[in-house]
Structure 1
């Protein structure tokens, strides 16, 4: 199966919609995916590593909730295209 270009197509659509909504005289517009991925092994992969944010409030030893939130995030490197469902191929064409 050939590589898909879903991320490029989707970003073009997003770019067009955003440009409709910002002022015509806006300058230095930059619209791109956050969390781009650079893979040293080449192969077929998602160009973006989606990030999941999480927040929670810890409970103190006294049983009271902590004043501040604990924040963290994890990045996901998908094995399938999130838009068309095509499975990414490993080096050598294997799935």
Structure 2
């Protein structure tokens, strides 16, 4: 998933662990995936990584200074520069790390 192999390895470990906790008949249909996965296109490469979501909300003000009735909500995703599992630099790394 990322330039280092940690995201794929960790997802496999979590998937296997959760699958073992299910009854035998339900294991075949079990699927797991990362939430907030993003496709990154830089220069001549394309990779995927996981973004950490940050949600926000605020009250917009009218021209008179009064707050609007409804709040404005949104979210952004912070992309990691370093692997949270092994510490590898995800931006500068050209070859996959184990």
Per the normalisation by structure 1, the TM-score is 0.59
Aligned to 1:49: 51
Q: CA deviation at 1:12?
A: 1.1
User: Which has the bigger relative contact order, CA under 8 A and spacing at least 6?
Assistant: 2
Unaligned runs of at least 5 residues, structure 1:
62-67
Count matched residues.
86
Per the normalisation by structure 2, the TM-score is 0.58
Q: CA deviation at 1:90?
A: 4.2
Determine the C-alpha separation between the residues in 1 that align with 2:51 and 2:38: 6
Q: Secondary structure of 2:45's partner?
A: coil
Once superposed, what is the RMSD of the aligned Cα atoms? 3.2
| Cα gap change, 1:32 to 1:69, in 2 (>3 Å) | same
Unaligned runs of at least 5 residues, structure 2:
59-64
Asked if residue 6 in structure 1 is aligned to residue 9 in structure 2, the reply is: no
Aligned to 1:64: none
